[in-house]
Amino acid sequence: MRRRAIVSNLTLALALGVALAGCGSDEAAPTATQAAGKAAPVVTAENAVSAQVAAMTPEQLREAASTAYRENRLYAPGGNNAVEYYLALRDKQPGDAAVSSALTDLLPMTVIAIEQSVSRDDFAEAQRLSALLEKADPQHPALGRLKTSIVTQQATAAKRAEEQKLSAEQEALKQAEVEKQRIADQQRQQQEAARQLATQQASQSQQQAADRRAAEQRAAEQQQAADQRAAEQRAAEQRAAEQRTAQARTAAAQPAASTELRALSTPAPRFPSEALRSGQSGEVQVEFTVAPDGSVLDARVVRANPPRVFDREAVNAVKRWRFQPVDAPVTTRRTISFKPGE
């Protein structure tokens, strides 16, 4: 729920992009010459999250991550971005599914930022982002390639710097250009990432709404079918009751007649395939009416154990039974057993 609110606010935050670019101008990125000639502090997965961020409480981290999302600080600047806050929050609350999901959404954009940092010789930024990626997912398929790319490009840049012997003034101008390009690239990337996340969330919401409507429609159809079956069952029971009443009245009005039933043919019921496979047994008591010609007029289940497993086959079998003709309809009950192997 919190991530949805964050993503929904990303679009509103796009207008703040220019202000963010201004705020980020103080971040200094090393040039190729600096990377080649001066050793910078080593950033690894262990210290990828700044000490200030790591010291924050889970509540502070969650709020800071939400603010960073709204302000498009997805992976930069260092020490004040959504990726670092979520990594620190994951360390404190490893089972938080929302945090894992947020990091999953952010990592593809972090990979792109690393590649672009390398392409503009911003190795300090590339190493910082690479350390964040390694801490988030040490098995990420792009991690090895990116690390190799950083080392290779650093060596190339060092060689190029040595060959060109850039003056201090040229180096300063290049550093300013790199910084300007980095800020512009980060602003553009994070705004595009915000739009993509907002579009993705909107699409997911639409799909969820469509799934809910489809589920509601299926439930309504199933309920309608169940109501119809219940109505048909009640009508059938009413007809059977009326028929039994009429038969009883007819029998009462007629002189005593022979009502002894003598079976001529009682085919065994078919054993349901599912019950046979599971080795299930049971019995069904069926009430039925024998017509004067010996045929079965009506049959219904009175009791079944287990319910609704053998009912249909028991009723179908009874309807095929035949008896010697009787003077008047006779209603009786029989219990049919179902045992696998018999």
d(CA 339, CA 212): 44
Please tell me the predicted confidence (pLDDT) of residue 261. 94
Please tell me the predicted confidence (pLDDT) of residue 253. 52
Say which amino acid occupies 82.
Answer: A
Domain that includes residue 40, residue range = 2-216
For residue 227, is it within any domain? Answer: no
Q: How confident is the model at residue 255 (pLDDT cuts 50, 70, 90)?
A: very low
Average pLDDT over the chain, rounded to whole? 85
For residue 245, is it within any domain? Answer: no
Q: How confident is the model at residue 243 (pLDDT cuts 50, 70, 90)?
A: confident
For 311-321, how does the pLDDT look when each residue is reduced to its tens digit (9 = 90+)? Answer: 999 999 999 99
Please tell me the predicted confidence (pLDDT) of residue 310. 97
- State whether 19 and 142 are in the same domain: yes
- The SS3 call for residue 119 is helix
- State whether 143 and 35 are in the same domain: yes
- State whether 190 and 270 are in the same domain: no
> Percent of the chain at pLDDT above 90?
63
> Percent of the chain at pLDDT above 70?
85
- State whether 328 and 183 are in the same domain: no
Please tell me the predicted confidence (pLDDT) of residue 27. 39
Q: How confident is the model at residue 37 (pLDDT cuts 50, 70, 90)?
A: very low
For residue 221, is it within any domain? Answer: no
Is the pLDDT assigned to residue 7 strictly greater than 60?
A: no
Q: How confident is the model at residue 13 (pLDDT cuts 50, 70, 90)?
A: very low
Q: Regarding predicted confidence, which is higher, 284 or 6?
A: 284
Please tell me the predicted confidence (pLDDT) of residue 239. 86
Domain count, the chain: 2
For residue 254, is it within any domain? Answer: no
d(CA 113, CA 108): 9
For 136-176, how does the pLDDT look when each residue is reduced to its tens digit (9 = 90+)? Answer: 999 999 999 999 999 999 999 999 999 998 778 788 888 99
- State whether 142 and 202 are in the same domain: yes
- State whether 331 and 268 are in the same domain: yes
Residue written as token pair 């009430």: 287
For residue 27, is it within any domain? Answer: yes
For residue 228, is it within any domain? Answer: no
- The CATH number linked to 296 is 3.30.2420.10
For residue 257, is it within any domain? Answer: no
Q: Regarding predicted confidence, which is higher, 253 or 229?
A: 229
For residue 242, is it within any domain? Answer: no
Please tell me the predicted confidence (pLDDT) of residue 36. 43
Q: How confident is the model at residue 302 (pLDDT cuts 50, 70, 90)?
A: very high
